[in-house]
Amino acid sequence: MTQLSNAAAVVVDANVLISICSNETTLNIAADALAQYASLGCAFYAPHVVVSEVLYVLCVKLRGGLLTQSAYDDAINEFQDQMKAISLQPEGDVALVRRSKEIQTGYGCSHSADGLYIALAEELAKTGPAEFVTFDKGAVGQILRQAPTVKVNLLPI
């Protein structure tokens, strides 16, 4: 596992929540990372888009036969429980749109939502330590090129 910092704010990528909620093989890695952050007293954040991203992927897993109806229902309940610990961007995602667009420059449309997470981490870092936790190696490259001040914790797969 990646060594975690004493970050005060942690932006949680949807893929971390999906891992936990749908019992993926990376479940323990994701859960341990969030537990370690919580033990350090970190506050968790995400842009509002996290809700639609997680719901979409869980639905795809259900429709594709990767989750049974019962497992899907459990995943939705787990997602609701996880979101109790995560604060959504107070001003809404609209406050992040321009910076997100800049971060997306040079990347495909599939990276549109990534920019919102990265922009939120940048915003939070203006008032104290902050980092972005993800399983997405592609986001790391995007951060290095477009938002090099964002600290990222790439969880191992």
Residue 18 burial (C-beta neighbours within 10 Å; 0-12, 13-18, 19+): buried
Contact 118, 152 (CB under 8 A): no
Q: Facing residues of 153 across strands?
A: 133
State the DSSP code for 136. -
- Predicted confidence (pLDDT) at residue 3 exceeds the cutoff of 60: no
pLDDT of residue 12: 98
Mean pLDDT rounded to a whole number for the chain: 91
Per-residue confidence band for 1, with pLDDT thresholds at 50, 70 and 90: very low
Tens of pLDDT, residue by residue over 32-72, are 999 999 999 999 999 999 999 999 999 999 999 999 999 99
> Mean pLDDT throughout 143-148?
86
Report the alpha-carbon distance of residue 31 to residue 105 in Å, rounded: 32
The pLDDT, as a whole number, for residue 2 is 44
Where do the domains of the chain lie, and which CATH numbers do they carry?
A: 9-154 (3.40.50.1010)
Closest CA to 53 of 83, 9, 23, 90: 83
SS3 string, 8-29, reads: CEEEECHHHHHHHHCCCCCHHH
